[in-house]
Chain A
Amino acid sequence: MNINGVAIDATFAEAFPMKATRALITAQNEKWALIAAQTMTGFATSVIACGCEAGIERVLAPSETPDGRSGVSIMIFAMGGKGLAKQLETRAGQCVLTSPTSALFSGIDGGTRIPLGKNLRYFGDGFQVAKLIDGKRYWRIPVMDGEFLTEATTGQVDAIGGGNFLVLAQSQPQALAACEAAIEAMRKIPNVIMPFPGGIVRSGSKVGSKYKALNASTNDAFCPTLKGMTKTELSADIESVMEIVIDGLAKEDIDKAMRAGIQAVCDLGADNGVTRISAGNYGGKLGPFHFHLQEIMA
Chain B
Amino acid sequence: MSGLTFTLKYRPDQRVDMSPLVYQKLAKLEPAEIASLTLQNGKRKSRVDELFGISGSDATNMVIKNSFGKLDFIGRELEGGSIKIEGDAGAYLGLGMKSGAIKVSGNADIFAGCEMKNGCLEIAGDAGDFLGAALPGNKMGMKGGTILVKGNAGERAGDHMRRGNILIEGNAGDYCGSRMTAGTIAVMGQTGQYLGFAMRRGTLLLWNPPALSASFNDCGAHTLSFLPILFASFKKLNSRFAAASAAFNRVQRYAGDMSEMGRGEVLVKITHPGF
Residues of chain A having any CB pair with chain B under 8 Å: 66-69, 103, 126-127, 129-134, 138, 140, 146-147, 149
Using a CB-CB cutoff of 8 Å, which residues 220-275 of chain B contact chain A?
222-226, 228-230, 232-233, 263, 265
A66→B163 contact, CB < 8 A: no
Other-chain residue from B222, B225, B229, B263 in contact with A127 (beta carbon distance below 8 A): B263
A66→B229 contact, CB < 8 A: yes
B182→A147 contact, CB < 8 A: no
A146→B223 contact, CB < 8 A: yes
12 A-B pairs with C-beta separation under 8 A: A67-B226, A68-B228, A127-B263, A132-B163, A133-B226, A134-B233, A146-B222, A146-B225, A147-B224, A147-B226, A149-B225, A149-B229
The 3 closest A-B pairs by CB, nearest first: A134-B233, A149-B225, A133-B233
Residues on the B chain within 8 Å of A67, using CB: 225-226, 228-229
User: Looking at chain A's contact residues, is the secondary structure mostly helix, strand, loop, or mixed?
Assistant: strand
Residues of chain B having any CB pair with chain A under 8 Å: 144, 163-164, 182, 184, 201, 203, 222-226, 228-230, 232-233, 263, 265
Number of A-B contacts (CB under 8 A): 43
| A25 vs chain B, min Cβ distance (A) | 12
Residues on the B chain within 8 Å of A149, using CB: 225-226, 229
Residues on the A chain within 8 Å of B228, using CB: 67-68
Given contacts A127-B263, A129-B265, A134-B233, contact A140 B226 (CB under 8 A): yes
Residues on the A chain within 8 Å of B265, using CB: 129
Closest to A26 in B: B225
Given contacts A129-B263, A132-B163, A147-B222, contact A138 B229 (CB under 8 A): yes
Residues on the A chain within 8 Å of B144, using CB: 132
Closest to A101 in B: B225
B222→A131 contact, CB < 8 A: no
Residues on the A chain within 8 Å of B222, using CB: 146-147
A66 to B225, CA, bound (A): 10
Residues on the B chain within 8 Å of A127, using CB: 263
A133→B163 contact, CB < 8 A: no
A103 to B222, CA, bound (A): 16
A138→B233 contact, CB < 8 A: no
Residues on the A chain within 8 Å of B224, using CB: 140, 146-147
A126 to B262, CA, bound (A): 11
Residues on the A chain within 8 Å of B226, using CB: 67, 131, 133, 138, 140, 147, 149
| A145 vs chain B, min Cβ distance (A) | 11
Closest to A68 in B: B228
* 17 extra A-B contacts, CB within 8 A, seeds A67-B225, A134-B233, A138-B226: A66-B229, A126-B263, A129-B201, A129-B265, A130-B182, A131-B184, A131-B203, A131-B230, A132-B163, A133-B230, A133-B233, A146-B223, A146-B224, A147-B222, A147-B224, A147-B225, A149-B225
